[in-house]
Amino acid sequence: MTILHIVRSSAFNDNKLELCLSIVTEHDSIFLIDDGVYNIAHPSLLKLLDRIEVFALTEHTNARALNIDNKKIRTADLSAFVALTDNAEKTITWQ
């Protein structure tokens, strides 16, 4: 993994996911936290799932009563998130 993109806001509300997607590469991963977890239903994200690894923080999807049906979106808890930030060369936060 090169860059872990941490996405913290809803793409239904602002353009941060769009900016992220404009420069994300296939070596990168995307981690959805905070209102970023709402992007599990956003068309722009969904069409990238075959190319880019996408995670959503379980604690934040649960708090927002979101269910993830799409098996291409991986769920991960806070400890898994910590491990991914540790494994990444670097992170970029979109908020």
Binding site for another protein (CB under 8 A): 2-3, 6, 8, 10, 12-13, 15-16, 18-19, 22-25, 33-35, 38, 41, 59-60, 62-65, 78-79, 81-83, 85-86, 88, 90-95
Are the C-beta atoms of 46 and 70 separated by less than 8 Å?
A: yes
Cβ-contact 95, 16 below 8 angstroms: yes
Site residues (vs a copy of itself, CB under 8 A) = 12-15
Select from a copy of itself, another protein, none the partner in contact with residue 8, using the beta carbon and a kind-dependent cut-off of 5 to 8 Å. another protein
Identify the sign of the CA torsion 80, 68, 18, 47.
Answer: positive
